[in-house]
Amino acid sequence: MFRNMNSVSSNTVSFVAGVMQEEPLESRRQQTLEWQNSHRFRPHPVPSSSREAAEEPDEMDKLKAKLMSAWNNVKYGWTVKTKTSFNKTSPIFVLGHAYLLNSEDEVERFRLDFVSRIWLTYRREFPQLEGSTLTTDCGWGCMLRSGQMLLAQGLLLHLMPPDWTWPDAHQLTDVDFEIFRPRSPVRAAGVPIPSFGAPRASTTPEKSCSSSQKKKTESSRDRQAEPTHQKLVTLFGDQPPAPFGVHQLVDIGKGSGKKAGDWYGPSVVAHILRKAVAKTSVGQSLAVYVAQDCTVYKEDVLQLCDPSLSQRVADPSSQAWKSVIILVPVRLGGEALNPSYIECVKNILSLDCCIGIIGGKPKHSLYFIGFQDEQLLYLDPHYCQPVVDFTQANFSLESFHCSSPKKMPFSRMDPSCTIGFYARTKEDFESMCSVVGMVLSSSKEKYPIFTFVDGRGQDYGLVALSSNHFGPPPHLLSAEQRGRGNIRQGSEEFVFL
């Protein structure tokens, strides 16, 4: 009865010379209206004698959905805001950027960086998810939302200017955090305090003028990139045509036995994101690789990013190299996080090639983007907001940017998670392999969180390539890992480390 929502019009979103373009606003409005008219949920035609019996359970389902939606709106729509405390003596690391909050300039830099991250949360009152009566993802879609934020960060690096910040971030003046100086400074073990140079007041006039001119140039550049920023956000819209919206992600998840209302693990979401990107025009310039068995096979990544490597005669018209997002599902312990991996996780979040970690607390997904001392910094999807109508001209972006940084202790982190990285060029990928490899080898734990190995997955006896495989990764060990003894395997789809 319903149309297949897997297909996304190639005209909806296209990338030309690395710049995102979209069809005219009026065309998008017409497309959404057409979909809404053709996807209205009507009862199946039934004989009049049985029509009443057939309609009754449908009405009951609708009533249950309304009651559940109302309960979730109360549970996740009302929040008590509390200010998060940061100290002045320890650096905050946010995906390769470091901030020491001992001056107003540094506090402002941190604020702009945090607010500029794409924040995707629960939404309500969106079109029904196909095959269900749900019009909200409250209470079950937090891992999908965390995955969306991870992908959005990769797209920001892929599409936006380097070190881009949202120009309108200055309008969000009510930023809920406070700075204090502890009596006994506690610094992150093994993490040096970065040098931020001399305060602005002590700089020479020439340097001050140069700095001011640079800021003006960057501000103008960031303002010019706003149309791309706005179109990027629409890719995650809560309408069925949106390629990375909840409707599409849920539909792709059916291939792994998931449906709307189910719990999605970080590994399953990684594969859903891979398939979602491959289906859209975004995949023309960006590939997503999902590691298997905590192993990144370099040759598989190279062939995924450079298709000409698998062709006998290279096609000169084909793109030489695709940028790549690498997702590594791991399990950092048994029932709880193994403390031995905390320093390694910190070092990973300190790298500029890292795009974050999706995981959280048990059955409570969060998107981790940094840390200070023994506290993780995260964006929380557990906030229910009304759906945004992207067909309206100049729709507000405010609900897609968070002004409340939150922290939680590493000790509360669920061991099941997926780590993300981004490499724009082949040289960036090779550099990433090197620097991430050094971080992993510096771990005090005998077994690294994951590994990079030469060759392809099939060389190690894997059933399928990770770039094409969908579903939980197989519990297979690489040749390097064989002979180390048995590694206990646990619940879900992860190998215990």
| 228: its two tokens | 């791309």
**332, containing H or E segment:** none
Q: Which of 158, 229, 382, 401 is catalytic?
A: 382
The three-state DSSP-derived secondary structure of 288-305 is EEECECCEEEHHHHHHHH
HSE-CB for 80 with a 13 A CA cutoff: 0
Torsional class of 399: left (φ above 0), alpha (ψ -120 to 50), beta (otherwise): alpha
* Angle ∠(412,417,419) on CA atoms, nearest 5: 120
Identify the pLDDT of residue 51.
41
Gyration radius (Cα) of the chain, Å: 24
* C-alpha dist (Å) from residue 212 to 99, 217, 218, 429: 20, 9, 10, 34
Separation between Cα atoms, residue 436 and residue 481, nearest integer Å: 19
Q: Which of 97, 113, 138, 142 is catalytic?
A: 142
Residue 343: closest CA among 497, 496, 490, 449: 449
Task: Give the residues of the chain that fall short of pLDDT 70.
Answer: 1-82, 172-176, 180-218, 310-319, 461-497
Examine the residue annotation and report whether 380 is marked as an active-site residue of this protein.
Answer: yes
DSSP single-letter state for residue 224: H
The pLDDT mean for the chain works out to: 77
| Adjacent-strand bridge partners of 325 | 288, 422
Question: In terms of DSSP bridges, do strands 92-94 and 385-386 run parallel, antiparallel, or are they unpaired?
Answer: unpaired
| 237: its two tokens | 């819209």
Examine the residue annotation and report whether 262 is marked as an active-site residue of this protein.
Answer: no
**451-492 confidence digits (pLDDT tens):** 999 999 887 765 444 444 434 443 333 334 433 333 333 334
Residue 488: closest CA among 266, 342, 331, 268: 331
pTM of the model: 0.76
Examine the residue annotation and report whether 417 is marked as an active-site residue of this protein.
Answer: no
Identify the pLDDT of residue 177.
74
Residue for token digits 């409340």?
Answer: 404
Find the Cα–Cα–Cα–Cα dihedral 460, 461, 466, 470, rounded to 10°: -160
